[in-house]
Every structure is written in C-alpha cells, then in structure tokens.
Structure 1
Amino acid sequence: MNRDDKAALVSQLNDSFGRAKLSVVADYCGLKVSELQQIRIELKGCDSEIRVAKNTLLKRAADGTGTAVLADDFTGTTAVITSYSDPVGPAKVLTQFAGGHEKFVIRSAALEGEKIGVDRLEALAKLPSREVLLGQLLSTWNNVPTGLVRVLSGVPRTFVYGLQALKDQKEQEGK
C-alpha cells in the first residue's frame, strides 16, 4: 500500500468515524474469513460496517472525531465497527456474535464520543430497538386519550342510568 492509498484510507476512515454514533473496537484474531463476512453482512443490515486497518492508520483517522477516545485500544489485530444510526442494533449483533465466537473479543466502545465499557455495550444490546420503543411510546400516547374519553363519558352515562332508574321507579309507583 503506497502513501496515496494510505492517505485515501485515512480520509475514508476519518469520515466514517466522524459520522459514527457508535464505534466499537474488537479483536478478531483467529476468525475465519467466512465468519468476518457473516458479521459484515449482519452489520450492514443495521446501517453499520466493520473495517480492518493498521493501527497507526486507525489512530490517524480517529483524530478529531468521537472515536479518538478509543485510540489507546488500537493494538494487535483490530477491527473497528461503526454505526451511523440506531446504536442498539449493532450492539445486539456484536454481543451475540461475540457470545458465539470466543475469538471475537470486544475491547471497548464509544457512544457519541463518550467511551463506554463492554458492560454498558451489553446493557445497550438488551434494550429494545428504536422501532419497538417508538411503538411502545405511540401505544402509550394512544391509551391516554382513550382513557380520558372513557372517564369523561362515564359521568353522563351514570347520570342517564340514574334518570332511567328514576323513570322506572315512577312508572312502578304509578301502576
């Protein structure tokens, strides 16, 4: 790889790191190419990507981005996973993959420029996805007006029932 290729790669990585909401550093030593392809495909489905590059290039690319907090973890065989939208999906994919592959080890992560530990990444993975959370929120919002209508309609309903009972009572007395 010549100097121009390295500069182009650093520029691409810097752009990726700058747009990333979630960045994860992992060790992939010992994984088969087919296993890397598998995780690459799974990550692509949740607007994320996995990149492998030399650590010095990764450090240069991370400068001035939210991923810079992970620069100390760029050692050994390093793969960097970047997510550009919802961080929950990639966190789920990575923790599931790491659970099934002992050779894939998550070192650290950064969520919007703040370094988080592996335990917080696993906690993030346990959250429902953005779509599920939005559905739950809409369901809650939908239930509030429905409950209000039921409460407000209860007063006139009981009044009408009372009038009907009074009418029935008067009819009984009149017979």
Structure 2
Amino acid sequence: MNKAQKTEIINKLRERFSRYPHFYLADSSALTVEQVNKLRRACFEGKVEMKVAKNTLIRKALESIEASRYEGVYPALKGQTAIFFTENPKEPALIISRFRKEQGSEKPILKLAFVDSEIYEGDSQLETLTRLKSKADLIGELISLLQSPAHRVIGALQSGGQTIAGVLKTLESRSAD
C-alpha cells in the first residue's frame, strides 16, 4: 500500500469517526469468510457500518481529529480490528450478541466501545452495552415522569371534584352559623 492509498484510508476513517458519535472495536480474526459476510449483513440490517482497517491507520485517523479525546482507545489497537460505526449506542452490542448466539461462538471479541465519550473496555462489557438506553428512550422516560404528577392531580380533581365542592359547602355553612 503506497502513501496516497494510506492517506485516502485515513481520510475516510476520519470522516466516519467524525460523523458517528459511537464506535466499537472488535477482534474478528477467528471468523471465517462466510461468518464475516453474515456479520456484515447483520450490521447492514441494523444500520451499523462495519470496516476492517490497520491499527496504525485507525490511530492516525483518531489523532487527526482530537488525539487526547481518544487516548483510552489506543491500547486496544492490537491484532486485527473491525470497527463498528453507529448512531445507536447499543446496536453493535446487540448484533454481536445475536451473532454469537447464532454461531455458537464467543467471536467476535469486543475490544472496546466508545459511547458518548465513555470507554467500555473488554469483552466483559458487552452485556452492559446491550442494556444501554438510547437518547430517545431516555427522553421518553423523562417526559412520562414529568407528566405523571400532573396526571395524578388532574385525576384527583376530576374524581374528587364533587367531594371538594361538598367540603366547601360544609365549611361555608359552618362559617355562616
């Protein structure tokens, strides 16, 4: 690979790292060609972009964006590295988990996940990543929590409206006596 080709790959990787807020790094070296194709298909269906690149090119792409932001990523750049770019922070974890179940294997091995500037290091973090909530899920939960007290007050007023009126009439009649 000549210098121009390497520069082109670095530029493409930099564009993807800049565009996607989350990415996963995994070791897919033990997978057969057929398994890699199945994994790529699952990624495509899940709207996750999967790329395999040399570690030095990945590192150069990250350093060209903001070297200090990605310092925790660099130690994971060893061996073969597949990168999963995504908008949804838990989708690659779900894809990898489903793929492992279907294949009856522990491959691919999660090296690292970079989610909202947080680093989840190691394959042991895969289950945690499958339980992450998306931004839309969190906003929905927050809205329902904020609406809950208002619904209770309105419900109490609607169901007990007659009771409140009765109490007010009783208090009015006592004050008149």
For normalisation by structure 2, the TM-score amounts to 0.73
1:97 and 2:102 correspond: no
Question: What 5-or-longer segments of structure 1 have no aligned partner?
Answer: 163-175
CA contact (8 A) 2:96 2:108 kept: no
- The DSSP-based 3-state class of the residue aligned with 2:152 is helix
Alignment equivalent of 1:73, drawn from 48, 71, 76: 76
How many percent identity over aligned positions? 26
1:108, distance to aligned residue in structure 2 (A) = 1.7
1:8, distance to aligned residue in structure 2 (A) = 0.6
Q: Which residue of 1 aligns with 2:172?
A: none
CA contact (8 A) 1:23 1:67 kept: no
- Of structures 1 and 2, the larger Rg is shown by 1
Alignment equivalent of 2:155, drawn from 134, 150, 161: 150
In 1, the alpha carbon distance for the partners of 2:72 and 2:18 equals 12
Q: Which residue of 1 aligns with 2:42?
A: 42
In 2, the alpha carbon distance for the partners of 1:28 and 1:130 equals 29
The one-letter amino acid paired with 1:153 is Q
Q: Which residue of 2 aligns with 1:172?
A: none
Q: Which residue of 2 aligns with 1:169?
A: none
1:58, distance to aligned residue in structure 2 (A) = 1.6
CA deviations 1:94-140 (Å, max 9, x no partner) are 23334543231111222233322234442121235555555544544
CA contact (8 A) 2:24 2:92 kept: no
- The DSSP-based 3-state class of the residue aligned with 2:73 is helix
1:111 and 2:112 correspond: no
When the two structures are aligned, how many residues end up with a matched partner?
Answer: 162
In 2, the alpha carbon distance for the partners of 1:93 and 1:15 equals 23
CA contact (8 A) 2:89 2:132 kept: no
Q: Which residue of 2 aligns with 1:166?
A: none
The one-letter amino acid paired with 2:81 is T
What is the alpha-carbon root mean square deviation over aligned residues? 2.8
The one-letter amino acid paired with 1:8 is E
Question: What 5-or-longer segments of structure 2 have no aligned partner?
Answer: 168-177
Decide whether aligned partners of structure 1 residues 57 and 128 sit closer, same or farther in structure 2, where only a CA change above 3 A counts. Answer: closer
1:13 and 2:16 correspond: no
The one-letter amino acid paired with 2:94 is K
